[in-house]
C-alpha cells in the first residue's frame, strides 16, 4: 500500500492547473447510459473513482475509447446493454448508485448493488429509491442488491424531497429525461456539479429548466450525440487555496470559474489571505499571521461545502485564537481529528461541533487516512509541520485528487510517494 513522505514546513509558490471535477464527471458518465448515439466527455480527471465508473459502464456493455491522456472518453452503447451493476465494482464508490436511474429509465429494469465509498456517515439511498418509485419504478432489496423494474416508460410526476440530497437529485433528473410528460423536483440540491450535469443533458436535447431549488424536466424520446467538457474541480481548487493561505504561499490557480468557490474565498479573505480573481483564475497570497474565522458551519450549496471542512480545520489550527466548526451534512466526518491531534492539534469534539484552539505548532508524525477529504487535510497539516510526516492509506486520496504529489512538487513541496 502506497504512502506519502512529506518534509515540512514548506512554502508554496507557482501555479496549479485545476483538474476536471470528479463530482460532476460521475453523474455525467452515469447519464451516458440513456444514449443510443456516441457521446464524447472531455476534461475527465485521472482519479480512481472515474476508473471505477468507466469500468462499471464497460461491464454494462458500453464501448469506451479513451484519448492518449485519458481525459477524454468516447462512449458508445451497445443495442443490448446489461442491467446488472455488480457489488465487486460498486463497493468502492458511492457514486455508482447513479446508474440505477438511467438503467430503469432506458431499459425498464436493473439489478444494482447497494453502494460503498467513504465511511463518513449513513448516506442512505432511501431518497433515491422513494423518488424513482414516484416516477414508476418498483423495487425490492435482496442480498444487498436493489432489484428494480418499471412497466414500460417512467411517468413524469411531482417529487418533493424531504431533505436536500445531491445524489437523489442527480438520479431523479437523469431518470426523468426519458420519462413520459413533465417531472417537477422540489427542494433539490443545486451544487455547481448538478448544474453541470443538466447543462450536459440539455446539450444533448434534454429539456431541463431551473428556478431556485425547483427543477422542471420535460421528458424526451431520445438524446442526441453530444460533446461536453466537464467543469473544473472546485474542491481541488479550494484545497490549493487553503494550502497557499496556510504556508504564507503565493499561488496562481488556473482553469476554473472562481465563482464556484466564492463562499470559501470570502472565508480565506477573513483569515487574512490576499485574493484576486478573474474569469478563469485565482491569485492568492497567504498572510504572515492567520486570523481566526470564528464559527464555521457546513451547509448545502451555496453554503460552506462539507468537502472543505477538514481542510478548513487545519487552517483554524494554525490561526490565532479559538474557532469552531459545526458539521451539518455528515454525522461521521471528524475522523481526521484524532490524526491531527497526533501532530499536536488541540481539538475537542462535542457531537457535531469541533472546538479548535489555534496557534498550534504541528510536529511531523506517522498518520493514517480514513477518507478522501480527511486524507488531504493530513497532507495540508504535514506541509506546515516541523519534520517528517508519513501519511498511510493514500488510496483514499487517489480516489479524488489527480496526481496530487506531482502538483505539490511543482509548487515547492517536499513530497514522495513510497511503495
* Confidence band of 111 (pLDDT split at 50, 70, 90): very high
pLDDT at residue number 299: 96
Domain containing 37 — which CATH number?
3.65.10.10
331 and 252 together in one domain: yes
**Which residue shows C-alpha cell 465511511?**
119
Average pLDDT over all residues of the chain: 95
404 and 272 together in one domain: yes
**Does residue 390 have a pLDDT over 80?**
yes
How far apart, in whole angstroms, are the C-alpha atoms of residue 368 and residue 250? Answer: 29
How far apart, in whole angstroms, are the C-alpha atoms of residue 39 and residue 193? Answer: 19
pLDDT at residue number 119: 45
Taking the model in full, what pTM does it have?
A: 0.95
**Does residue 121 have a pLDDT over 60?**
no
HEC per residue, the chain: CCEEEEEECCCCEEEEECCECHHHHHHHHHHHHHCCCCEEEECCCCCHHHHHHHHHHHHHCEEEEECCCCCCEEEEECCCCCCEECHHHHCCCHHHHHHHHHHHHHHCEEEEECCCCCCCCCCCCHHHHHHHHHCCEEEEEECCEEEEEECCCCECCEEECCCCCHHHHHHHHHHHCCCECEEEEECCCCCHHHHHHHHHHHHCCCEEEEECCEEEEECCCCCCCEEEECCECHHHHHHHHHHHHHCCCEEEEECCCHHHHHHHHHHHHHCCCEEEEECCEEEEECCCCCCCCCEEEECCCCCECHHHHHHHHHHHHHCCCEEEEECCCCCCCCCCHHHHHHHCCEEEEECCEEEEECCCCCECCEEECCCHHHHHHHHHHHHCCEEEEEEECCHHHHCCCCCHHHHHHHCCCEEEEEC
**Does residue 123 have a pLDDT over 80?**
no
CB 309 within 8 Å of CB 326: no
Residue 32 Ramachandran class (φ > 0 left, ψ -120 to 50 alpha, else beta): alpha
245 and 215 together in one domain: no
**Does residue 400 have a pLDDT over 60?**
yes
156 and 293 together in one domain: no
Boundary (domain end) residue, out of 229, 255, 274: 229
36 and 171 together in one domain: yes
411 Cβ partners below 8 Å, 6+ apart?
A: 12, 13, 14, 15, 16, 249, 251
C-alpha cell belonging to residue 397: 486520496
295 and 411 together in one domain: yes
261 and 393 together in one domain: yes
CA–CA distance from 270 to each of 136, 241, 266 (Å)? 49, 13, 6
159 and 88 together in one domain: yes
Boundary (domain end) residue, out of 229, 258, 277: 229
Catalytically active residues, by annotation: 118
Burial class (CB in 10 A: 0-12, 13-18, 19+), 151: exposed
**Does residue 155 have a pLDDT over 50?**
yes
CB 333 within 8 Å of CB 119: no
pLDDT at residue number 91: 80
Mean pLDDT to the nearest integer, 154-169: 96
142 and 182 together in one domain: yes
Q: How many domains does the chain have?
A: 2
Burial class (CB in 10 A: 0-12, 13-18, 19+), 19: buried
Cα dihedral 337, 251, 273, 380, rounded to 10, equals 10
**Does residue 124 have a pLDDT over 80?**
no
C-alpha cell belonging to residue 246: 496556510
Residue-wise pLDDT for 12-33, tens only, equals 999 999 999 999 999 999 999 9
**Does residue 376 have a pLDDT over 60?**
yes
Q: What percent of the chain has pLDDT over 90?
A: 88
Residue-wise pLDDT for 76-88, tens only, equals 999 999 999 998 8
Residue-wise pLDDT for 254-293, tens only, equals 999 999 999 999 999 999 999 999 999 999 999 999 999 9
Mean pLDDT to the nearest integer, 340-347: 97
Residue-wise pLDDT for 205-222, tens only, equals 999 999 999 999 999 999
C-alpha cell belonging to residue 227: 460533446
Boundary (domain end) residue, out of 229, 245, 261: 229
**Does residue 118 have a pLDDT over 50?**
no
51 and 199 together in one domain: yes
pLDDT at residue number 116: 59
**Does residue 165 have a pLDDT over 50?**
yes
Range of the domain at 72: 22-229
HSE of 155, CA atoms in CB hemisphere, 13 A: 6
**Does residue 94 have a pLDDT over 90?**
no
**Does residue 120 have a pLDDT over 60?**
no
335 and 385 together in one domain: yes
353 and 288 together in one domain: yes
Residue-wise pLDDT for 232-245, tens only, equals 999 999 999 999 99
Amino acid at each position: 500500500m502506497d504512502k506519502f513522505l512529506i518534509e515540512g514546513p514548506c512554502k508554496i509558490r507557482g501555479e496549479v492547473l485545476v483538474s476536471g471535477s470528479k463530482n460532476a464527471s460521475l453523474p455525467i458518465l452515469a447519464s451516458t447510459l440513456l444514449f443510443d448515439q456516441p457521446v464524447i466527455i472531455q476534461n475527465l480527471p485521472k482519479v480512481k473513482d472515474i476508473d471505477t465508473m468507466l469500468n462499471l459502464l464497460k461491464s454494462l456493455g458500453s464501448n469506451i475509447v479513451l484519448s492518449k491522456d485519458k481525459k477524454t472518453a468516447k462512449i458508445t452503447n451497445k443495442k443490448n446493454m446489461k442491467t446488472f451493476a455488480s457489488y465487486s465494482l460498486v463497493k468502492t464508490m458511492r457514486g455508482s448508485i447513479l446508474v440505477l436511474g438511467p438503467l430503469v429509465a432506458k431499459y425498464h429494469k436493473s439489478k444494482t448493488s447497494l453502494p460503498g465509498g467513504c465511511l463518513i456517515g449513513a448516506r442512505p439511498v432511501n431518497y433515491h429509491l422513494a423518488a424513482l418509485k414516484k416516477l414508476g419504478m418498483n423495487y425490492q432489496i435482496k442480498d444487498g442488491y436493489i432489484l428494480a423494474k418499471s412497466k414500460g416508460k417512467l411517468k413524469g410526476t411531482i417529487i418533493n424531497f424531504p431533505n436536500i440530497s445531491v445524489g437523489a437529485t442527480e438520479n431523479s433528473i437523469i431518470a426523468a429525461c426519458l420519462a413520459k410528460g413533465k417531472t417537477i423536483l422540489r427542494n433539490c440540491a443545486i451544487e455547481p456539479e448538478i448544474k453541470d450535469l443538466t447543462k450536459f443533458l440539455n446539450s444533448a436535447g434534454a429539456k431541463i429548466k431551473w428556478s431556485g431549488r425547483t427543477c422542471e424536466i420535460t421528458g424526451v424520446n431520445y438524446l442526441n450525440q453530444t460533446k461536453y467538457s466537464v467543469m473544473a474541480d472546485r474542491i481541488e481548487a479550494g484545497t490549493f487555496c487553503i494550502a497557499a493561505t496556510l504556508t504564507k504561499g503565493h499561488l496562481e490557480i488556473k482553469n476554473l470559474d472562481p465563482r464556484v468557490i466564492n463562499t470559501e474565498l470570502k472565508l480565506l479573505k477573513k483569515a487574512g489571505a490576499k485574493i484576486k480573481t478573474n474569469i478563469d483564475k485565482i491569485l492568492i497570497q497567504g498572510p504572515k499571521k492567520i486570523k481566526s474565522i470564528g464559527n464555521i458551519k457546513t451547509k448545502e450549496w451555496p453554503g460552506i461545502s462539507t468537502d472543505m471542512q477538514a481542510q478548513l480545520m487545519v487552517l483554524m489550527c494554525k490561526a490565532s485564537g479559538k474557532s469552531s466548526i459545526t458539521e451539518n451534512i455528515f454525522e461521521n466526518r471528524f475522523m481526521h481529528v484524532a490524526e491531527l491531534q497526533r501532530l499536536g492539534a488541540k481539538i475537542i469534539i462535542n457531537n457535531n461541533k469541533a472546538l479548535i484552539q489555534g496557534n498550534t505548532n504541528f510536529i511531523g508524525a506517522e498518520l493514517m487516512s480514513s477518507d478522501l477529504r480527511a486524507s488531504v487535510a493530513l497532507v495540508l497539516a504535514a506541509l506546515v509541520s516541523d519534520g517528517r510526516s508519513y501519511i498511510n492509506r493514500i488510496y483514499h486520496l487517489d480516489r479524488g485528487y489527480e496526481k496530487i504529489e506531482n502538483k505539490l512538487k511543482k509548487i515547492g513541496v517536499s513530497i514522495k510517494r513510497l511503495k
